[in-house]
């Protein structure tokens, strides 16, 4: 499984395991030595050229004071997916609004504290 799942969301016919081939230097060489997947090449490019770091992928927000509205400045510069849990590790459901590419607001029916995990 890729560490960068959001990079493959809307590429159409390509998926993580789509196999690609490079040109063989000699016809006697086995094709297996020159094949790779889309995920292989993306992981190579990301790691070798530092295109994406862990800080670019996720944000963990701790809301220690109970509140009905959580305003979160995540600075990921994109729309995010959100998962909320209370301090007892139970899932919570809130209404999420994308205020901007770097800020979201989550509204709950009662004041709660916990974590918002953004990816």
Mean pLDDT lowest among 56-60, 64-68, 98-102: 56-60
| Three-state DSSP string of 16-77 | CCCEEECCCCCCCCCHHHHEEEHHHHHHHHHHHHCCCCHHHHCEEEEEEEEEEEEEEECCCC
Are 62 and 48 in a shared domain? no
Residue 114 main-chain phi, psi, to 5 deg: 155, -155
60: tokens are: 């963990």
Q: Mean of the pLDDT values across residues 89-117?
A: 96
pLDDT of residue 46: 76
Are 65 and 108 in a shared domain? yes
Domain extent at residue 27? 5-54
pLDDT exceeds cutoff 80 at 112: yes
User: Which position has the higher pLDDT, 78 or 93?
Assistant: 93
Are 41 and 86 in a shared domain? no
Are 62 and 50 in a shared domain? no
Tell which of 17, 36, 54 closes a domain.
54
pLDDT exceeds cutoff 70 at 102: yes
Q: Mean of the pLDDT values across residues 8-28?
A: 65
pLDDT of residue 55: 67
Are 99 and 63 in a shared domain? yes
pLDDT exceeds cutoff 80 at 1: no
pTM for the model: 0.58
Model confidence at 3, pLDDT cuts 50, 70, 90, reads low
7: tokens are: 């990079």
For residues 110 and 69, what is the distance between their CA atoms, to the nearest angstrom?
Answer: 9
Model confidence at 17, pLDDT cuts 50, 70, 90, reads confident
Are 62 and 43 in a shared domain? no
Are 50 and 67 in a shared domain? no
Are 45 and 62 in a shared domain? no
Overall domain count for the chain: 2
């Amino acid at each position: 499984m890729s560490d960068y799942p959001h990079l493959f969301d809307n590429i159409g016919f390509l998926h993580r395991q789509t196999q690609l081939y490079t040109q063989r230097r000699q016809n006697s060489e086995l094709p297996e030595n020159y094949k790779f997947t889309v995920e292989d090449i993306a992981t190579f490019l990301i790691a070798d050229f530092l295109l994406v770091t862990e800080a670019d992928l996720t944000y963990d927000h701790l809301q220690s004071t109970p509140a009905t509205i959580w305003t979160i400045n995540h600075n990921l510069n994109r729309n995010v997916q959100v998962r909320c849990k209370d301090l007892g590790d139970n899932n919570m459901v809130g209404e999420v609004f994308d205020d901007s590419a770097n800020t979201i607001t989550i509204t709950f029916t009662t004041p709660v504290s916990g974590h918002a995990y953004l990816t």
